[in-house]
Amino acid sequence: MKVAKLYSFNDIRIEDIPIPEVGARDALLKTRACGICSGDVMPWYIEKKAPLVIGHEPAGEIVELGSSLVTRHSSLSVGDRVFTHHHAPCFTCRFCKRGDYVQCETWKKTRIIPGGVSEYILIPQTNLENDTLNLPDGLSYEDGTLIEPTACVVKALRRANIRHGDTVLVIGLGVMGQINILLARKYGAGKIIGTDMVTFRMEKAKEFGADDVIDVSKNNLVDSLKELTNGAMADLVIVGPNSADAMKQGIDCTGAGGKVLFFTPSKPDEQLTINPNKLYFKDINIITSYSCGPNDTADALELIQNGIVRAEKLITHRFPIEKTAEAFRLTAEAKDSLKSVIIF
Ligand SMILES: [Zn+2]
Ligand SMILES: [Zn+2]
């Protein structure tokens, strides 16, 4: 079977490897579509894992079942169309019991084999039982690839706990920024403001429910936000770009009693220096959110089913596996594209 293997950021090769052997309690997926994630194109993050078969947002068809196991959400049969999450928790440890699934040791250790951009994927028992979801009729495989990214937003906005009518600022309008806008609107946000430097992305944000956009290639973010909010700034700021500078800017954009959500990590060696009193006297909370758990993927599936998030809104580019490097480059470039998927 063909896989797309990353050796370094600019070296992705298509290789032929054997189809994995299916254990008694595993399943084999014939991959139909796999998204390329903005996290996949953070060079320091992906290169420390190299060489690896890239991609973690697959959807496909079960072609072999090692057992008649019943999963958490439904029973599976050969021929079923599913999404599978590359990490799945144990449901029994201290972290799982309080819903912190991504801190579970099992969650961290689990993975899909060999990775998402692969003609076939082995879904190991834990992933199969604890975070594999059937795609309902009416949802395409492309819709299925959006479950994991949407689930990351579900988790983040749950942690941020949007209040009805909150002014929300979304910094960075790539696909994750757009999903943040779609869900913030659904969860009751008031005014939503997006910011980016790419016209295509700012126009998409308006299409998806942003009331205003700030073009930071031409305007100062803090000043423009002040103007748009009559000095109140934002009740919730969602920081997308992976840098300490963006986080600092996010804090500067947060109004009294507000929250700033770090949606992505910074670069590994960066420090975030802040004057704590700036947070303290304004009662500003910093909230982080890393990845997502099975409760979030289940909610994400529902949001996709309800049409809040949909492939036709967000997937702008489709590539065959042979062109994975091109899909990767396009995602890294962050210009006139939102989601790129590999279609099998
Ligand atoms: Zn992802
Ligand atoms: Zn656990």
Q: What is the pLDDT of residues 299-332, one digit of tens each?
A: 999 999 999 999 999 999 999 999 999 999 999 9
Ligand nearest to the Cα of 175, by number: 1
Q: What is the pTM of this model?
A: 0.96
pLDDT for residue 70 is more than 70: no
Would you state the pLDDT for residue 76? Answer: 85
Largest CA distance in the chain: 62
Residues 6+ positions from 272 with CB-CB distance below 8 Å: 244, 247, 248, 266
Ligand nearest to the Cα of 291, by number: 1
Ligand nearest to the Cα of 46, by number: 1
CA 125 centroid distance within chain = 23
Give per-residue pLDDT as tens, 211-239.
999 999 999 999 999 999 999 999 999 99
- C-alpha 46 – ligand 1 centre gap (Å): 12
Beta partners for 118?
A: 3
Mean pLDDT for 53-77 is: 82
- C-alpha 93 – ligand 1 centre gap (Å): 25
**74 — pLDDT class (breaks 50, 70, 90):** low
CA distance 30 to 28: 7
- C-alpha 107 – ligand 2 centre gap (Å): 7
CA distance 314 to 306: 15
Give per-residue pLDDT as tens, 82-109.
999 999 999 999 999 999 999 999 999 9
Would you state the pLDDT for residue 44? Answer: 85
Would you state the pLDDT for residue 254? Answer: 98
Would you state the pLDDT for residue 318? Answer: 98
Mean pLDDT for 127-134 is: 95
Ligand nearest to the Cα of 56, by number: 1
